Amino acid sequence: MMNCPNCNAPIAPGVAFCPECGTRRPAGDGPIRVLQGRYELIRKLGQGGMGSVYLASDRRLSTVRWAVKEMSDALITSPLERHSAVEAFRHEAELLARLSHPNLPRVTDHFSEEGKNYLVMEFVPGHTLLDYMQRNGLPRPLDEALGWASQICDVLGYLHSQQPPIIFRDLKPANVMITPEGQLKLVDFGIARIFKQGQAKDTQAYGTMGYSAPEQYGRGQTDARSDIYSLGVLLHQLLTGHDPAATPFRLPPAGALNPAVPAHISAAIARATDNDPQQRFSSLAELRQALLPTSGFVQLQGQQQQAPAVWATLPVNPGPPSAAPGSQAYGAPGSQPYGAPGSQPYGVPARTTTGLATAAFWLGIVSAAWMALALAVVATGAIAGDPESLFTGFGALLAFPPLLAGPLAALLGVFALVSKETAATINGRRHAAVGVAAGTVALLLCCAVIAVIPSSSTTTGAESAALVSYWI
Ligand SMILES: Nc1ncnc2c1ncn2[C@@H]1O[C@H](COP(=O)(O)OP(=O)(O)O)[C@@H](O)[C@H]1O
Ligand SMILES: [Mg+2]
């Protein structure tokens, strides 16, 4: 069964014209696949780590559209991994099927077919928050951002109130959809797991750099406060345009980046995104209270039901038949690509490192390796026990370049560490620290070279040089 491209009425297989409006059935536009003899996969809505999501029509309920999530086999390499992935998927399906919240898509079915596992859920028309941000630019107006934050507080609060609590764990713009009515829906429970209380440490680290709390990277137990962290990051991004991946775990104060952000909002974001979970709000209710004192909240609750004005400029994800690939206006002339000059007045470029940090890194590594070689050569001379050993002289000469380069690397590393430019990159500080450490190692190895030389030889540097040139 397919739907008419003109009036969306169902057209039975083998019928050449729409029974409602008479439009000719488009040729070669059949479903990608039919599952369970019922769900016709029409087109791919998205693809990611856990699998693909398809838009599907239903042969049994002809007016209904579903989003069908397929678990991809591509990433599963061993039978054991496959088994645990299938279990995780079924668990996710059962978990979601019993949830009911306006900000979550309803899950209605799950099944396995031909070695793949499928989750059937309510199709959410509209776009992801990521698309929206790319299309409309950042920062967003305060009332719009707070209206969204309020909805996310609601649904996360609902998830956390489950027994046992459900931690969403991967809140980010690509996993939040906005309907044309301005209602948010959290999609992608691919990494959501029931939080098992009393477990010392989560066995799997999940998350997306920038949005995920530090404890999600194996430093401790994740709980409701990890979702609070991600919501704080998301709100910070909406209000400032700052890319959180540019400075993971170090967000500049929102009020400093955008003076239009009120002090109490900036303070609430700072507290929500504190690296120490103990310092964060302990619940979504507490965070919402800080963001939306009662009167403002009532007003925003009313506003959130209306589509934001800018929505009119967005092409809505309408499902078939009108949403043929290519009809989406992303990147169309006039659109505002995220990160383009002007679209993010407060944005920080997401650079990975700086030249200074890279120079320190490589100079340090090369110096340390070179000095280690010099030590090995000198040590060989010492083992040979020959005071006139060529090894000793050659090793002493070898030690000179890294003796200069090592301290230089350490110095460059220190400069890079204190530079603001490096602090705004993802790996800059790490590279600078490696530069300092490796430069220091080169110096320590040099001390070892000096310690080894007198024990094996009385040869001075000049004599060593003469020895080497004679030998050559
Ligand atoms: N219920 C839904 N309705 C409409 N589109 C959806 C739905 N669920 C997911 N999508 C789309 O598919 C994309 C990928 O889905 P997601 O569940 O995030 O899977 P992944 O594990 O691949 O990240 C989303 O970003 C969204 O665009
Ligand atoms: Mg996703």
Separation of CA 391 and ligand 1 centre (Å): 65
Closest-lying ligand to the alpha carbon of 121?
A: 1
Pick from 20-34, 230-244, 449-463: least confident: 449-463
What's the confidence (pLDDT) of residue 76?
66
- Greater confidence, 129 or 379? 129
Q: Which atom of ligand 1 is nearest to the CA of 48?
A: 22
Q: Which atom of ligand 1 is nearest to the CA of 130?
A: 25
Q: What pairing do the DSSP bridges indicate for beta strands 10-11 and 33-35? A: unpaired
Stretch 431-440: mean pLDDT = 92
CA proximity to 337, closest of 168, 194, 130: 130
Do residues 237 and 243 lie in contact, with contact meaning Cβ atoms separated by under 8 Å?
yes
Residue 320 has pLDDT above 80, yes or no: no
What's the confidence (pLDDT) of residue 469?
54
Separation of CA 92 and ligand 2 centre (Å): 14
pLDDT tier at 465, thresholds 50, 70, 90: low
Give CB contacts under 8 A, 24+ apart, made by 298-302.
300/143, 300/146, 300/147, 300/150, 301/147, 301/150
What's the confidence (pLDDT) of residue 26?
63
Residue 307 has pLDDT above 80, yes or no: no
In this structure, the residue with its CA closest to atom 18 of ligand 1 is 188
In this structure, the residue with its CA closest to atom 25 of ligand 1 is 174
What's the confidence (pLDDT) of residue 268?
98
Protein residues with C-beta less than 5 angstroms from the ion ligand 2: 48, 175, 188
Separation of CA 308 and ligand 1 centre (Å): 22
- Greater confidence, 164 or 324? 164
Closest-lying ligand to the alpha carbon of 52?
A: 1
- Greater confidence, 306 or 229? 229
Residue 207 has pLDDT above 70, yes or no: no
Separation of CA 174 and ligand 2 centre (Å): 6
Stretch 311-320: mean pLDDT = 41
What's the confidence (pLDDT) of residue 418?
85
Concatenated DSSP letters for 417-461? HH-HHHHTSSSHHHHHHHHHHHHHHHHHHHHHHHHHHHHH----H
- CA dihedral angle for residue 429, residue 431, residue 437, residue 442, rounded to 10 degrees: -150
pLDDT tens track for 330-347: 223 333 333 333 333 222
What's the confidence (pLDDT) of residue 345?
29
Q: Which of 43, 187, 206 to mutate to test the pocket of ligand 1 (most atoms within 8 A of CB)?
A: 187
Residue 303 has pLDDT above 80, yes or no: no
Pick from 53-62, 100-109, 443-452: least confident: 443-452
What's the confidence (pLDDT) of residue 245?
93
In this structure, the residue with its CA closest to atom 4 of ligand 1 is 124
Judge residue 87's burial from the number of C-beta atoms within 10 Å of its C-beta, 0-12 exposed, 13-18 middle, 19 or more buried: exposed
CA proximity to 270, closest of 296, 289, 284, 249: 249
What's the confidence (pLDDT) of residue 186?
96
Residue 195 has pLDDT above 50, yes or no: no
In this structure, the residue with its CA closest to atom 16 of ligand 1 is 188
| Ligand 1: lining residues by beta carbon, under 6 Å | 45-51, 53, 67, 69, 105, 121-124, 128, 174-175, 187-188, 190
pLDDT tier at 314, thresholds 50, 70, 90: very low
Quote the radius of gyration of the chain (alpha carbons, Å).
30
Domain ranges of the chain: 31-122, 127-291, 355-471
What's the confidence (pLDDT) of residue 50?
59
Do residues 319 and 123 lie in contact, with contact meaning Cβ atoms separated by under 8 Å?
yes
Placement of tokens 């499902």 in the chain: 319
**Residue 35 phi, psi (nearest 5):** -110, 140
In this structure, the residue with its CA closest to atom 13 of ligand 1 is 46
What's the confidence (pLDDT) of residue 449?
85
3-state secondary structure of 113: strand
What's the confidence (pLDDT) of residue 188?
82
Element (H, E) at 119: strand 116-122
Tell me which fold the domain 31-122 belongs to. Phosphorylase Kinase; domain 1 (3.30.200)
Q: Which atom of ligand 1 is nearest to the CA of 125?
A: 4
Name the active-site residue from 58, 170, 223, 227. Answer: 170
If phi > 0 it is left, if psi is from -120 to 50 it is alpha, else beta; for residue 386 that is: beta
Is 170 an annotated catalytic residue?
yes
Q: Distance of CA 372 to CAs 48, 292, 401, 433, Å?
A: 45, 60, 12, 20
Percentage of residues of the chain with pLDDT beyond 70: 73
pLDDT tens track for 354-397: 889 999 999 999 999 999 999 998 888 888 776 567 788 888 88
Closest-lying ligand to the alpha carbon of 49?
A: 1
What's the confidence (pLDDT) of residue 277?
95
Q: Which of 117, 188, 191, 206 to mutate to test the pocket of ligand 1 (most atoms within 8 A of CB)?
A: 188
Separation of CA 311 and ligand 1 centre (Å): 20
Which architecture characterizes domain 127-291 according to CATH? Orthogonal Bundle (1.10)
What's the confidence (pLDDT) of residue 10?
75
- Greater confidence, 41 or 305? 41
In this structure, the residue with its CA closest to atom 8 of ligand 1 is 187
Pick from 190-199, 294-303, 393-402: least confident: 190-199
Average pLDDT for the chain: 78
What's the confidence (pLDDT) of residue 199?
35
- Greater confidence, 208 or 174? 174
Most confident segment among 92-96, 238-242, 423-427: 238-242
What's the confidence (pLDDT) of residue 352?
66
Separation of CA 326 and ligand 2 centre (Å): 22
In this structure, the residue with its CA closest to atom 23 of ligand 1 is 48
Residue 147 has pLDDT above 90, yes or no: yes
pLDDT tens track for 5-64: 666 677 777 677 778 877 776 666 678 889 999 999 998 998 765 568 899 999 999 899
Separation of CA 95 and ligand 1 centre (Å): 17
